[in-house]
Amino acid sequence: MPKPHVSINVANVERSVDFYRRFFGVEPVKLKPDYAKFDLADPPLNLTMNERPPAQDGEHGRLAHLGIQVDGHEAVEAARQRLIAAGMLALDEEDTVCCYARHDKVWATDPDGNQWEVFFVMEADVASDNFQGDACCVPVEETEDGACCTPEDKQEAVTAGKGCCG
């Protein structure tokens, strides 16, 4: 059954995990120094948090991205075909490691720049150094000198259908 996914940026994962642990009354299913995941059955929700430096205005609470977690490759393929037909496919990632898990996923960006993914988790816990700040789990691409796009360049990269950095 499809499950909503919300990814938020936080100033301090440890502090945020403490809040959400008490808010939901459950433990996170994955906890890393810069990342946490709550996988709730009731209500069905895949909530992840990514530790990020403050936005330029110094505030947190910024949305990273939204998504729908699906039950298999077939559902990702159906979303891929639907987005291609609608001219909305921003990024197509197969067998990609991001946020300490292996996924198949497709991305689209709404008119206000909100990034949506439809994804299937093939392997839930992967040892990886692929969690690189703003570069993971959002469609950005490495620049010519090998550096990740800056947050200011991210939306342009997403709109152009560029791939993950790292």
The CATH number of the domain where 18 resides is what?
A: 3.10.180.10
Residue 163 lies in a domain: no
Residue 151, CA atoms < 13 Å, CB-side half-sphere: 11
Question: Please, what is the average pLDDT of the chain?
Answer: 77
For residue 129, name the pLDDT band (cuts at 50, 70, 90). Answer: low
Instruction: Give the predicted TM-score (pTM) of the model.
Output: 0.62
- The whole-angstrom separation of Cα 44 and Cα 4 is 7
Other residues' Cβ atoms within 10 Å of the Cβ of residue 144? 5
Kindly state whether residue 53 falls inside one of the protein's structural domains. Answer: yes
Please tell me the total number of residues recorded for the chain in this structure.
166
Percent of the chain beyond pLDDT 90? Answer: 31
In a domain, 13, yes or no: yes
Residue 39 lies in a domain: yes
155 in any annotated domain? no
Residue 80: give the domain boundaries. Answer: 3-126
How many domains is the chain built from? 1
Is residue 59 domain-resident?
Answer: yes
Minimal CA–CA distance to 109: which of 70, 161, 44? Answer: 161
Amino acid at 27: E
SS3 131: coil
Lowest mean pLDDT among 28-32, 128-132, 139-143: 139-143
